[in-house]
Amino acid sequence: MRWRPLTLAERQLSWVWAGLALAAVALRPLWDFLAPHLGRCTFRSLTGIPCPTCGATRGVLALLHHHPGQAFLLNPLVASGTVILVVGGLLAPLWAWRRGTVPVLETPLPRWLRMAAVLVILANWGWVILTQTGH
């Protein structure tokens, strides 16, 4: 894999990412207040089937309340993405300062990688359907 130096804009973006990650954690009381006021999933209301992101709000709240197991049981992909968002955001400025390089990705991504991403999303959706409908 080839690597290239970060641009100035990418270095600045690492600080924005860190700020968003810190804000997401620091604003936990706001998440707790807003969550009960969010409406039901429109997809689930129309079809009776959970959407691929059903359980996301409850999962993120579980993570914020230090219950990662519960979060991963609700929606593994959303829980993983949330952890990556926060941990990655906290590490991004350090990476930019210490390493200062990023991998060069093929464009478009290789077919096998795109297919793997689709399979992960479908497997996650299957998990959500199985665990949130009782079937």
Q: What are the residue boundaries of the structural domains of the chain, listed by start?
A: 3-133
Angle at 16 between CA 35 and CA 26, to 5 degrees: 35
C-alpha closest to that of 6 among 84, 131, 97: 97
Whether 82 contacts 71, CB under 8 Å: yes
Q: What is the pLDDT of residues 32-59, one digit of tens each?
A: 999 999 988 999 999 999 999 999 999 9
Residue 82 pLDDT grade (very low, low, confident, very high; cuts 50, 70, 90): very high
The C-alpha atoms of residue 103 and residue 32 are separated, in whole angstroms, by 37
Name the percent of the chain lying above pLDDT 70.
99
Residue 1 pLDDT grade (very low, low, confident, very high; cuts 50, 70, 90): confident
The C-alpha atoms of residue 98 and residue 6 are separated, in whole angstroms, by 11
Residue 92 pLDDT grade (very low, low, confident, very high; cuts 50, 70, 90): very high
Whether 101 contacts 10, CB under 8 Å: no
Q: What is the pTM (predicted TM-score) of this model?
A: 0.88
